[in-house]
A and B are shown apart, each in its own frame.
Chain A
Amino acid sequence: MAEPHIPHPDLPPPVSSVGPIGWLRRNLLSSPLNIVLTLLALYLLYVAIPPLLSWAVLNATWSGDSRDACQASHGACWVFIRVHFDQFMYGFYPEGQRWRVDLSALLLIFSAAPLFIRAVPSLVKLRLSLSILVFYPLIAFILLSGGRFGLAVVETSHWGGLLLTLVIAGVGMTAALPLGVLLALGRRSQLPAIQTLCVTFIEFWRGVPLITVLFMSSVMLPLFLPTGMNFDKLLRALIGVSLFQAAYMAEVVRGGLQAIPKGQFEAAAALGLGFWKMMGLIVLPQALKLVIPGIVNTFIALFKDTSLVLIIGLFDLLNTVHNAATNPAWLGFSTEGYVFAAAVYWLFCFGMSRYSQSLEKRLHTGHKR
Chain B
Amino acid sequence: MSESSAHKLLSDQVMIQMDGVHKWYGAFHVLKDINLTVQKGERIVVCGPSGSGKSTTIRCINRLEEYQRGRITVDGQELSNDVKQIERIRREVGMVFQHFNLFPHLTVLENCTLAPIWVRKLPRKEAVEIAMRYLERVKIPEQAGKYPGQLSGGQQQRVAIARSLCMNPKIMLFDEPTSALDPEMIKEVLETMVTLAEDGMTMICVTHEMGFAKTVAHRVIFMDGGEIIEQNAPEEFFTNPQSDRTRLFLSQILHH
Partners in one complex: yes
Q: Which residues of A contact B (CB under 8 A)?
A: 261, 263-264, 266-275, 277, 281-282, 285-286, 289, 363, 365-369
Which residues of chain B have C-beta atoms less than 8 A from A261's C-beta?
101
Q: A270-B64, A281-B114 are in contact. Are A365 and B95 (CB under 8 A)?
A: no
For residue A285, which residue of chain B has the nearest CB? B105
Task: Flag if B87 contacts A272 (CB, 8 Å).
Answer: yes
Chain B nearest Cβ from A198, distance in angstroms: 20
In this assembly, does B62 line the interface, its C-beta being within 8 Å of a C-beta of chain A? yes
Judge whether A266 and B118 touch: CB under 8 Å. Answer: no
A206 to B103, CA, bound (A): 33
13 residue pairs of the A-B complex, CB under 8 angstroms, read A263-B99, A264-B101, A267-B103, A270-B90, A271-B119, A271-B163, A272-B90, A273-B115, A275-B83, A286-B103, A363-B105, A367-B105, A368-B149
Note all chain B residues with C-beta closer than 8 A to A285. 105
The count of chain B contact residues (Cβ–Cβ below 8 Å) is: 29
Which of A261, A267, A269, A289 has most chain B Cβ within 10 Å? A267
Closest chain B residue to A264, Cβ basis: B101
Residue B93 lies at the interface, judged by CB distance under 8 Å to chain A: yes
Q: Is B189 an interface residue (CB 8 A)?
A: no
Interface residues of B (CB under 8 A from A): 62, 64, 83, 87-88, 90-91, 93-95, 97, 99, 101-105, 114-115, 118-119, 147-150, 160, 163-164, 167
Instruction: Say how far A250's CB is from chain B's closest CB, in angstroms.
Output: 22
Question: Smallest CB–CB gap between B75 and chain A, Å?
Answer: 13
Contact of A271 among B83, B104, B114 (CB under 8 A): B114
Do residues A367 and B97 form an inter-chain contact, with CB atoms below 8 A?
no
Asked if residues A273 and B118 are in contact (CB atoms below 8 Å), the reply is: yes
Q: Which residue in chain B gives the minimum CB-CB distance to A268?
A: B103
Q: How distant is the Cα of A366 from the Cα of B148 in the complex, in angstroms? A: 8
Shortest 10 CB-CB contacts between residues of A and residues of B? A367-B149, A367-B104, A267-B101, A272-B91, A263-B101, A271-B115, A270-B95, A365-B147, A272-B90, A366-B149
**How many whole Å from B159's CB to the nearest CB in chain A?**
12
Partner of B90, one of A269, A286, A363: A269
A282 and B114 alpha carbons, distance in the complex (Å): 10
